[in-house]
Amino acid sequence: MVRRRGVAIDLYSAGTIRSNLLKIVIGALVPMVLLGAWQGLLTYRDSRGLVTERLRANAWSIAERERDPFIIARHALRMVSQLEPVSEIGGDCSATLDNVRDGATGILNFLRTDRTGAVRCSGLPFTPGENLAGRRWWQDARGTSGFVIGEPQIGEVSHRQVVIMGLALKDADGQFDGTVSAGISLERLSASIAAKQAELGGTVLLVSGRGKVLLAAGEAGFDRLDAADAARSEPQRATAKDGGDWIYVAAPLFDRDLLVVYAEPQASFTGAALSRIWLVLALPLLAAVLSLAAVWFATQRYLLDWFPRLHRLTERIADGQFEGDRGEFAGAPSEITGMAGDLHTMAAALDRHGRELQAALAAQKALTRELNHRVRNNLQIVASLLTMQAERVEQGWVRDLLEQARIRVSALGLIHRLLYEQGDERIGEITTARLFGDLAAQLRSANRRARGVSLTCEADDFALDFDRAVPLMLFAVEAVSNAYRHAFRPGEDGLIALRLWLEWEGAVLEIRDNGHGLTEPTPEGGSGMELLKAFAGQLGGKVMLEPAAAGVRPGLVVRLDFPRE
């Protein structure tokens, strides 16, 4: 809640109905969007899981398909290692290995080395004296009692691309006694992997347990996949030689020593996961948006479109057009029709009250004019009576008093005449320019015996209400009358200047003469000064008297500063 110019404003209720309706629609969308996002996240996670399972299934299917030669080689090596001609390196060793090779699918050769690495017998003809002790797989086999897998190479005997699977042999004392090994054809394996890659897409790789890529089929090239073993349980990310990002999984081909890896571009992986989100969320979200759009359209059509018409109706009523088409809101909802009916009823009441007020105002104006007319007539009668009474009195102070009373009464009559003559335009207000112009004429006429004294008048034109015009005018009458009576000797020429002007937020009335100045009564005493102070007090102003100039006839300035309001 805030306050602006004393009015409390509730920030939560601000705005138009249309904007608040928009807030409601948006508010209805927010939980749907949040629930949709939450559901989308769950769907994305499930989709990633499904896509991962698909990748893993592809990797395992390839591994299962290409595993037969390795299984055959393992069983064959176990079998031949127990045959006496092979274990004892007898004369029938090569023939025995040749017989085993004929029945082993995908295996090019079997051979036996002694504990020094020398080739002693082989299923294929070999050159005596060949030694395999420098081969890494042979060194690995020497240090273990199980099977080992070597990296792709050209077979020493077959002279074709093979992967060597070796098995260490032990003598009766458990000492290393050489190896028996099988050469698995890489040509057949490579062709089979390429065919599977063409069927599934992506990239298929044969990777050693140390992460080295042995074979590859597909568009992506990789040097190493160091996380290949971890890819057996979770998808891993790798960057190809061309800088592309890929996701891959692995399946064991021969324990941890040899893995089949299946990889797809990360964008394809993510896109496959996201595609299910759109399938799950698109239709519900589209239905929600269409429903809210229908609500918005219906609200616009059957509710909001009527409010501008109500606004135009209120503007016409505010402009004084009280007659309107009551059938304009015939098709509106009942609540809107009721509001329009209330506005028409209010317009009729305003029209009736307006006519009544106009009639009352006209009557009031007529009464005011009549009152001013009668007051003016009565004041003229009083002024005439004072004139008649003064003519019956000889020259002296009594006659001067009667003359001053007549001048004041005539001035009051002047105000009521101006109020009557200006009509109904500005009731209770008087324009200063006309008031002081007519007042100066009256004062010249009342003091016509002082033929050599001229009275000038300058007044700015502004409005004064009746209660302020009366004391201001009487102040001017008293000051000008004092100047006529005391500033000049009989028959002497002179000038009295009456000026009224606006100054800042107030106004100034000045009566200046070039006579001899006042000696009796003094500026601080006497009935004349008391009257000036009394009139100034009614105006909330301040009166000052000071000489106009130095010399034989210094003159006098009477100045009144007063606020306009």
Neighbours of 121 (CB within 10 A): 23
Residue 390 has pLDDT above 70, yes or no: no
Residue among 519, 510, 490, 513 at smallest CA distance from 561: 510
Distance CA(477)–CA(528), nearest Å, equals 11
If pLDDT is split at 50, 70 and 90, which confidence band does 456 have? very high
Quote the pLDDT of residue 497.
93
Q: Which residues contact 126 (CB under 8 A, 6 or more apart)?
A: 111, 119, 156, 157
244 Ramachandran zone, left/alpha/beta (phi>0; psi -120 to 50): beta
The angle at the Cα of 469, spanning 466 to 471, to the nearest 5 degrees, equals: 115
Neighbours of 494 (CB within 10 A): 20
Of all residues in the chain, the percent with pLDDT exceeding 70 is: 79
Residue among 312, 347, 340 at smallest CA distance from 326: 340
pLDDT, tens digit, for every residue of 287-297?
777 877 777 77
Q: In what order do the strands lie in the sheet with 213-217?
A: 213-217, 203-208, 258-265, 245-254, 236-239
3 state SS of 18: helix
pTM (two decimals): 0.42
Which residue type does 286 have? L
Which residue type does 68 have? D
pLDDT, tens digit, for every residue of 80-129?
888 888 888 888 898 888 888 887 878 888 999 999 989 999 988 888 88
* C-alpha of 136 from chain center: 70
Distance CA(389)–CA(378), nearest Å, equals 16
Distance CA(475)–CA(24), nearest Å, equals 71
**Residues 266 and 287 sit within 8 Å (Cβ to Cβ):** no
* C-alpha of 426 from chain center: 52
For residues 400 and 334, the model is more confident at 334
Quote the pLDDT of residue 261.
84
Bridge partners of 561, per DSSP, are 508, 542
If pLDDT is split at 50, 70 and 90, which confidence band does 496 have? very high
DSSP character at residue 224: B
pLDDT, tens digit, for every residue of 417-433?
877 777 656 666 888 88
Residue 492 has pLDDT above 80, yes or no: yes
DSSP, residue by residue, 470-485 = HHHHHHHHHHHHHHHH
Bridge partners of 559, per DSSP, are 510, 544
Strand runs labelled E in 192-265: 203-208, 213-217, 236-239, 245-254, 258-265
Distance CA(548)–CA(557), nearest Å, equals 5
If pLDDT is split at 50, 70 and 90, which confidence band does 240 have? confident
Torsions phi, psi for 31 (to 5 deg): -60, -35
| Residue 89, CA distances (Å) to 96, 180, 183 in order | 10, 11, 19
Which residue type does 306 have? W
Distance CA(562)–CA(565), nearest Å, equals 9
If pLDDT is split at 50, 70 and 90, which confidence band does 247 have? confident
Strand runs labelled E in 244-340: 245-254, 258-265
Among 1-5, 188-192, 331-335, the minimum mean pLDDT is found in 1-5
Neighbours of 457 (CB within 10 A): 20
Quote the pLDDT of residue 367.
67
Which residue type does 95 have? A
- Please state whether the peptide bond connecting residue 521 to the residue before it is cis, i.e. omega within 30 degrees of 0: yes
If pLDDT is split at 50, 70 and 90, which confidence band does 379 have? low
Bridge partners of 157, per DSSP, are none
